[in-house]
Amino acid sequence: MSSTSTESGSTHGLAVREVARRLRTDPVLGLSSDEAARRLRDHGPNVLPHVGGTGPVLRILRQVNHPLVYVLLVAGAAALATGAPVDAGVIFGVVLVNAAIGFVQESRAEAALDELRALVRTIARVVRAGEEGVVASEELVPGDLVRVEAGDKVPADLRLVHSAELRVDESALTGESLPVAKDEAVLPAATPAADRLNIVYSGTLVTGGLGAGVAVATGASTELGEIHRLVGAAEPLATPLTRELARFSRLLTVVILVLAAATFAVGVARGESAPDMLTAAVALAVGAIPEGLPAAVTITLAIGVARMARRHAVVRRLPAVETLGSTTVICSDKTGTLTENQMTVREVWTPSARFTVTGSGYAHDGQVLDPAGAVADVAPGGALYQCLLAGAACNDAALTTADDGRPTLVGDPTEGAMLVVARKAGLDPAAMAARWPRMATLPFSSQRSAMATVHRDATTGEPVAFVKGAVERVVLLCCNETDPDGASRPVDAEAVLRAAEDLARGGLRVIATAVRRGRDLPLDPGRLAEAVAAGGFTFAGLQAMLDPPRPAAVAAVRSCRAAGIAVTMVTGDHVATATAVAGQVGLLDGPVPDGDPRLLTGADVAALAPQALADAVEKGAVLARVSPEQKLRLVEALQARRHVVAMTGDGVNDAPALRQADVGVAMGHVGTEVAKDAADVVLLDDDFATIEAAVEEGRGVFDNLTKFIAWTLPTNAAEGMVILVAVLLGTALPILPVQILWINMTTAVALGLMLAFEPKEPGIMQRPPRPPGRPLLTRALGVRILVVSAVLVAGSSWLFGWELSRGSTPDQARTTAVNLFVAVEIVYLFGCRSLTRSSWQLGVLSNRWVVGGVAVQVLAQLAITYLPVMHQVFHTAAIDAQAWGRIAAFALLTAAVVAVDKRVRARQRPAVSGGTAPARPARRGRSRGPREPSRRARARSTPVPSRRGGH
C-alpha cells in the first residue's frame, strides 16, 4: 500500500488530524491539483472494475469450446487429408460463421454492461488548494476533500471531517431501510462497518443535511468495490437450457463418434478403401451434427432479448431469456417492484374528521376528500389545514421534475409524501415559504423521535413552531387539540392513539403533527430543544401513508400464479407493512392470523433447518424482516428442491442472492451498480409486471427453441442414417459431406431461424412451468423425430436408387436426394410452427418470416440444381420434372404423417388446468446434490455486511 492511501476499515477509529496526516492531505484545503493528478496516475480512476470480463481472443476461443464443434473440426481435417479441400473449406466456414455469431452477441452483452456502468457515474464537489470545484467522480483520489449534501450520491468512501444534520440512505449497502444520522466523532476500532457513523460509503445517497470528508478509499478499494469483487468471483450458474444443451451435446457427440467409427470399420472390413470409408465417416459425422443449432440458439435468444427490451427488460446474459420461461418461483422485493417506491399519504385523521386522499406517487394528481366523499374544505385555521401545513413546513425534502417529465424526490420519502398531499389540498410550497419563512430547525433524532421547525408568520410577525414525528412522542408534547370549529380544547390522547393504531393495522405508516405559537420560542438549537421538550403544543392531526402497490402488479401476480409460478414477497420491511401490501397485490387472501404459515419473519427463517426452511418457503407468500444472508438461504433452499428461482433486488446487499438465483433481476432506476452486475436481467421500469412479461417472453423463446430442435433433428438423424445404411449395404453414398453441409446451413438460416419469429401461442401463461428435470426432447417429440427421420431415410435411399436405375448420373441422383431432404424440411417446418396445433389453426400465412424463408430456400435449391458454378462446388446436376414430382409426393407424405401424429396425441393429452397452485418440480429421489450453489457458497468467503434487515 502506498504512503498516500489508507484503509477505510481503520480510519473510523482515528482522529481527523491523524487521518489527514496518514493521507498527506489537508482537512481544510484538500490536495493540490498537481498532487491529485499524480495520485490519479498511481491509483487509477475511481470506478469499479469489470470483474469477470474477457478479452476478444478468449471470447473467440470460447465459441469453439463445444463437443460438436470439435467433431466438425476433426471432420474438416479428415476431408482435407482425403483430398477434398472444398468440403474442408465449407466445414471450416460453418465453424467460423457460428463462432462469429456467438462472438458478436457476447460483445454486445459486454457493451450493454458498460453502458449500464456508465449510467451510475456522477459528479463530485471537491476542494483542491482551498477552492471548491466540480469533477467527474472517477477523477477522485485518496486524500481528496469532498463535500456532500442532500440529493448527492456519495462518490467514494469518506471519513467525515465535519457534518451538519447529515443523514445518509445506506439501504443499498447495508440493508438499513431508514436514513442513518452521521457525524465526525471518533469511534472504537472494533465498530463494524454498518455502524461506522463517521464514514459515508461510496454508492449511498445523502437524504438530508450536509458534510465534508476526506476520501479514504476509491474504486475497488471501497466497501462497495469489495462486495463487487466477491460477487464477481462467483461462478455463473448453469441455466436449464445450457444444462440440457450440454447434456444433449455430450450424448450426441458420443453417438456420432461411435457411428462414424462403426461406419469406417464396417466398410474397411467389407473390403472398401480406407479413404472412401473415411469420407463416409466424415459424411455421417457432418450429417448427424446440427450445425445450425448453436447459431439458432444464439439468434433465438437474441430475438427474445430484443422483445424483452421492448417490454422494458434488459437481458445481460442470453440464456437468462429461456431461464425466465422455466421459472417456478419468483422471490420479489417489495419496495419499487410490487410497489411504486413513492410514499403516498392515503388518509389524514384530525380530531374532527377522517379524510381520504386519492392519487399515488409524487404526482400531484389527486384530491383530499371528506367523509362524505366531497372535496375537503381546507379552511385556514382548521385542523386539516394545520395538519397539512405542519407536515409541509417542518420538512427538508424537495420535489423536482426529471428530464422525462416525471416528478422526482430529493430527500426523505416520508417528507416527500407530506409535500405532495399539501399540494393536492391546494397549499403551494412557494407560497407557504413566503407566508411562513423558516427561522430555526431542530432536526429529527432517534432520541426525540420528532423534528421541529420555527417559522415567522409574515402577517403577524409571530413565531410559530411546527413539529412532526412518532405519534406516541408528539401526543405527549400536546396539551390541546383543534376542534371542528377551529378552537382549542384539551387533547384526547387516547383517541389519538386509538386512531393511530387503527391506521397502522392497515399497513400505513402514521406521522403525527402539532403546532405551537408564542413569542418566547427560541432560535438557538439547544434552547429550542428544551422548549420543544417542554410541550405546550396543539395537536393538529395524523398523516397515514404507504408505498402504494403498482397498478399492474396485481394483474401480473394473478397471471404468474395462473401460470403455476409461485410468487413470494421477500422484504426487510416490517411485518404489518409487508402483510398489507401482500394483501393488496393478491399474495394473501383475507385476514392473516398469528401463526399463519404463509407469513414468515427473519427470526423464523433463522430458526429453521435447511430442510424445514424449504418446506416453509414453499408454503409461504410473505417473508418479512429478512436479512440479505437469509435471502441467500432462501434461494439455496428452493434450488435444493429443484426449483428454478428468479430473485429481484436493488441493493449491494442483494447481490449474492441475485448471483445465486437462476435468474437475478435488478432494478434499473434505483438499483446499484453491483446489483446490476450480479443480475441477469435489469428492469428499466422497476415494475413486477415487467417480470411477468419477461416470463411470458421466455416461455415463447423456449417454445421456439424446442420447435427448431424438433424440426432440425430429423434431418440430421436421417443424413447420418442414410450414410450408415449405404455403407452397410455396400452402395454409393446418396449424399456427400459438402451437400449435407449445404442442406444443414441453408435450411437452418432460411427455414429454421424463421421459427424464432413465431408468435407466442395462445394460453402460454395458463400452463404450468416446464419441470426443471424434464429432458430437452420429450418422448412424444422423440417419436415424431424418429418417424420423420424414417421417412427421410427410406425416401432418399429409394429415390437415389430409383434415379440411378432409370439412367441418371450419380450427381443427378444425389441432387434429387438433396432436394428431397429440403422439400421434406419445408413442409415439416409448417408442422413445427406448433407442436400441438395444426398449421390451419395457426393460419398458414400468419408468420410472414416463414413464408419469406421458404421462398429464399426454393430459390437456393433452384440455384444449386441448375447453376453450373454450383455443380462444380457441390457435385450436383440438373434434374427433370418427374424427379420433382416424386420429391413432392414424399414431402406431402411427411406432412400427412405429422398431422396424424398431432391428431392422435391431441386426443391423448389431458386439458391444461389454469389453476393458481404453484407447480412443484418432481423430485428424483435426491436433491440437486453437488450443483453450483455449493461452489458459490464457498466462493463467498466474506459475508455481505448487514445492519438490521434488508430493504
Q: Indicate which residues carry an active-site annotation.
A: 333
If you compute the radius of gyration of the chain from its CA atoms, what whole number of angstroms results?
Answer: 35
Residue 743's closest CA among 733, 732, 753, 751? 751
Q: Rounded to whole angstroms, how far apart are CA atoms 802 and 788?
A: 21
12 secondary structure, DSSP code = T
Q: Is the distance from CB of 321 to CB of 718 less than 8 angstroms?
A: no
Residues 6+ apart with CB under 8 A from 587: 557, 567, 568, 569, 621, 622
Q: Rounded to whole angstroms, how far apart are CA atoms 446 and 917?
A: 44
Residues 6+ apart with CB under 8 A from 342: 360, 361, 362, 409, 413, 416, 417, 547, 548
Q: Is the distance from CB of 951 to CB of 631 less than 8 angstroms?
A: no
Q: Rounded to whole angstroms, how far apart are CA atoms 146 and 30?
A: 8
373 secondary structure, DSSP code = S
∠ CA 294-770-563, nearest 5°, is 125
3-state class (DSSP) for residue 134: strand
362 secondary structure, DSSP code = T
153 secondary structure, DSSP code = B
Q: Rounded to whole angstroms, how far apart are CA atoms 227 and 653?
A: 8
Residues 6+ apart with CB under 8 A from 51: 228, 229, 231, 232, 233, 677
Q: Rounded to whole angstroms, how far apart are CA atoms 181 and 735?
A: 78
3-state class (DSSP) for residue 85: helix
Beta-bridge mates of residue 647: 331, 664
Q: Rounded to whole angstroms, how far apart are CA atoms 883 and 893?
A: 16
Residue 705's closest CA among 285, 294, 307, 254? 294
Positive or negative CA dihedral for 683, 687, 690, 695? Answer: positive
Q: Supply φ then ψ for residue 488, to 5 degrees.
A: -95, 145
Q: Is the distance from CB of 714 to CB of 777 less than 8 angstroms?
A: no
Q: Is the distance from CB of 87 to CB of 291 less than 8 angstroms?
A: no
Q: At what angle do helices 551-562 and 575-585 cross, to 10 degrees?
A: 70
Q: Rounded to whole angstroms, how far apart are CA atoms 461 and 338?
A: 47
Residues 6+ apart with CB under 8 A from 652: 172, 173, 203, 224, 227, 228, 672, 674, 675, 944
DSSP result, 701-750: HHHHHHHHHHHHHHHHHHHHHHHHHHHHHTPPPSS-HHHHHHHHHHHHHH
454 secondary structure, DSSP code = E
DSSP result, 207-240: EEEEEEEEEEE-GGGSHHHHHHHHHHHSPPPPPH
DSSP result, 90-113: HHHHHHHHHHHHHHHHHHHHHHHH
Element (H, E) at 452: strand 450-456
Exposure string of 773-798, with b = 16+ CB inside 10 Å and e = fewer, is eeebbeebbeebbebbbebbbbbbbe
Beta-bridge mates of residue 145: 127, 214
- Reading phi first (left if > 0) and then psi (alpha if -120 to 50, else beta), residue 588 is in beta
